A and B are shown apart, each in its own frame.
Chain A
């Protein structure tokens, strides 16, 4: 059983501050003039896919942000900024409340060509909170984690609890066998049930064109996936690879491998852009799906995708998937007692060694060798 101490000392204060936070964020006239550090800290997870802060933080996809307001813009040592960012610095960009506010509101329009592929924080008070948080992170990383994280929790006295309802007054629901849980509301199901199936079940209303897709893709996807879907560095390749599935090094892309278009829509809507999931509108996702079809030579540049013509699109590789028949492979099909003695002719000789292909970490070796885990 959950201990009471947990329930009262830990959970309640956290809830309290969350409520407070949401009141502030909803902008109910109470918006603080100066940003709030702990609210900013609470917003940082949306940056953490690309940025690290705190003691010993290093560069990720984006530069480490310790002391970012105390250094010149785009000056973190050992980090390679985009040309767009360098140009902005040459033109005099320096980080202060105003420039950070503009950058965080819409990075890609404030600094054209920046590789910070992030849609931006629309809410002004959230931006202020974020800036307040960033400003108090010292060069050594102090300030990234709340110093009083535990102090807060212990401080709330038990006396402030309202009296607890009596067990016998609890309403027990009718449904089910054990009468546990509660009925999900239609709005709740709609909010979470975003999955799409090959037969089109789950597709939202809307549409999007290849033309509209270009812009969204170039600003929000191309930094990682490349302008033509060819993949920058080790980021996934999204286009090409036709007829490569029997090659020594097959290239499995949307066009060469994926059996269903619905998977593209579903995945982009649920997981992309990486680090800012669920930020795209349904029409954006239609446009991006249309554009990814275009990059894979499946439609021309005039094409518009909608719920109506969705299921008319057939992917080239759809017929090449088979069900699991591993148990029919020779080594499994015949159940035989394995050989125990003199099973192979001659002495064992080495045919392959890891030292030839030594790609083991910490080996001080070739970092670019080897394959991928997929």
Chain B
């Protein structure tokens, strides 16, 4: 059996060989850089690069004109920047999950087509003209809105991360999946356009006894969760746009709920109803699921907030270091459901010593943050870790600290520090260290 990391490395090396070696001649690094080649040998001798000295096809022959793709697509060279699933996780694909390719992305915004999917009854297909949102329960006037009605409320734009509570849930017992796409890919970060829930609720008039809200989806799972009224009135939104365009069907088109900083299951897609009540409902997704079993057999419920977390996206098992020693960029993501991220530290020696990384790009509350740590790699083995600290000064814990507090069967809310073992050949592997 060829393990996937071997495959990654082989194909990585093949790609490196193609780029640096084959076109130039016998395994010679281009532009004076040191290329790691299939043989693992490096050479510094430089010969003229035919990519420069010869006229290439794309220099001469014209490609597509405008409108070849009325809705543009990524370059054909990016065909591996795709969501991927793990087929054995679920019995079939209608109630299932796939993962965002974090190792292929940079910045903080997740492109719409790469946002991971989690459905409980397939993707509902709904014409916006046929969609309705009802508010009922403990309200003065039960109401029905069309999409056109909703667009007449004051609109707001906010960037928020959505993380599934089960993100990294496979890793409770130890290192399992080789790639940050699979260990951490149940997260995405999108700019939403929509309306604050408090405006919609004010329109119906919430009774003073109304302490809880039940959102419900229009898909065959009729997804429901109980949300405390305080949160609903604070920053929750119903949204119709993501990153400027209409929601994607798999993200709840035409309408979804946004519950900033809280677990993704609560962000009900295909939202059709909001019921106001005086008690929580204790439905399936907040009893059977999304409760966190502890070692003593008790279970936590209503564990809504996603705690402070970070992950190095490159290098990582799917994105090995191909350039050899020398200047190296470590890139990663950090987020917290409690607000902004204040700082991220990076360790190259498995947590013995830490260096503060550089946060770059906008630092928004309950949004992904991008960090970089640049250093000169001497080519020796590394144990790369990142540790985020949020605005409440909560520090991302180690996995062992979480296991000591919760045991092995909590499934949800694993925000432990991840370790990538970088080997002398630049390949990376998911490990845990002493």
Which residues of A line the B interface, CB within 8 A? 1-2, 11, 14-15, 18, 45, 48-49, 60-61, 175-178, 180-184, 188-189, 192-199, 224, 233-235, 245-246, 248, 250, 252, 254, 257-260, 262-263, 266-267, 270-271, 274-275, 277-278, 320-326, 329-332, 335-336, 338-344, 346-355, 357-365, 367-374
Contact = CB atoms under 8 A, between A and B. Distances in A.
A331 B383 contact: no
Contact of B203 (A1, A180, A325, A363): A180
A280 to B, nearest CB: 13
Nearest to A15: B129
A321 B352 contact: no
A192 B421 contact: no
A355 B178 contact: yes
B194 interface: no
Given A183-B141, A198-B282, A374-B411, A354 B429 contact: yes
B349 interface: yes
A348 B352 contact: yes
Contacts of A353: 175, 421, 429-432
A286 B178 CA distance: 46
B304 interface: yes
A180, A347, A372: most-surrounded residue (chain B CB, <10 A): A180
Contact of B88 (A60, A348, A368): A368
B209 to A, nearest CB: 13
A277 B222 contact: yes
A2, A194, A322, A323: most-surrounded residue (chain B CB, <10 A): A322
Interface stretch (B23-31, B89-97, B358-366): B89-97
B357 to A, nearest CB: 13
16 contacts: A175-B203, A181-B149, A195-B216, A195-B281, A260-B287, A271-B221, A322-B300, A323-B300, A331-B405, A338-B345, A350-B432, A352-B174, A357-B175, A357-B176, A360-B86, A364-B1
Contacts of B404: 330
A195 B214 contact: yes
Given A277-B220, A358-B5, 11 more contacts: A49-B121, A175-B203, A177-B203, A195-B216, A233-B91, A258-B288, A263-B284, A324-B304, A340-B345, A355-B178, A360-B317
Contact of A246 (B279, B295, B434): B295
B170 interface: yes
A349 B433 contact: yes
Contacts of A183: 141-144
Contacts of A234: 88, 90-91
Nearest to A266: B283
A245 B431 CA distance: 28
- Judged by DSSP, the binding face of A is loop
A323 to B, nearest CB: 6
Nearest to B99: A361
Given A258-B287, A267-B283, A350-B432, A360 B178 contact: yes
Contacts of B412: 374
Contact of A274 (B95, B288, B413): B95
B127 A14 contact: yes
Interface string B68-98: 0000000000000000111111111111010
A325 B300 contact: yes
B299 A374 contact: no
Contacts of A267: 283-284, 288
A274 B401 contact: no
A338 B122 contact: no
B150 to A, nearest CB: 8
Given A176-B204, A271-B121, A184 B134 contact: yes
A370 B302 contact: no
- Judged by DSSP, the binding face of B is loop
Contacts of A182: 143-144
B295 to A, nearest CB: 7
Contacts of A259: 282, 287
B284 A357 contact: no
A181 B145 contact: yes
B125 interface: yes
B173 to A, nearest CB: 7
Q: What 10 A-B pairs are tightest by C-beta distance, nearest first?
A: A348-B350, A363-B4, A176-B203, A354-B430, A352-B432, A331-B397, A184-B142, A245-B297, A234-B91, A270-B222
Contact of B4 (A184, A342, A360): A360
B86 A45 contact: no
Contacts of A245: 293, 297, 299
Interface string B1-29: 11111010000000000000000000000
Given A188-B144, A320-B299, A348-B434, A343 B352 contact: yes
B389 A248 contact: no
Contacts of B279: 197, 199
B44 interface: no
Nearest to A59: B92
B215 to A, nearest CB: 11
Contact of A61 (B92, B352, B392): B92
A184 B221 contact: no
A263 B89 contact: no
Contacts of A357: 174-176
Given A371-B170, A373-B90, A354 B145 contact: no
A335 B389 CA distance: 11
Contacts of A323: 300-302
Contacts of A358: 3-5, 178
Contacts of B141: 175-176, 183
B136 A355 contact: no
Contacts of A330: 401, 404-405
Contacts of B283: 195, 263, 266-267
Contacts of A349: 433-434
A343 B383 CA distance: 14
B234 interface: no
A270, A329, A369: most-surrounded residue (chain B CB, <10 A): A270
B121 A363 contact: no
B351 interface: yes
A354 B214 contact: no
Nearest to B291: A321
Nearest to B92: A61
Contacts of B429: 353-355
Contacts of A340: 345, 353-354
B38 interface: no
A188 B134 contact: yes
Contacts of B41: none
Contacts of A278: 220, 222
Given A274-B95, A330-B405, A338-B345, A321 B136 contact: no
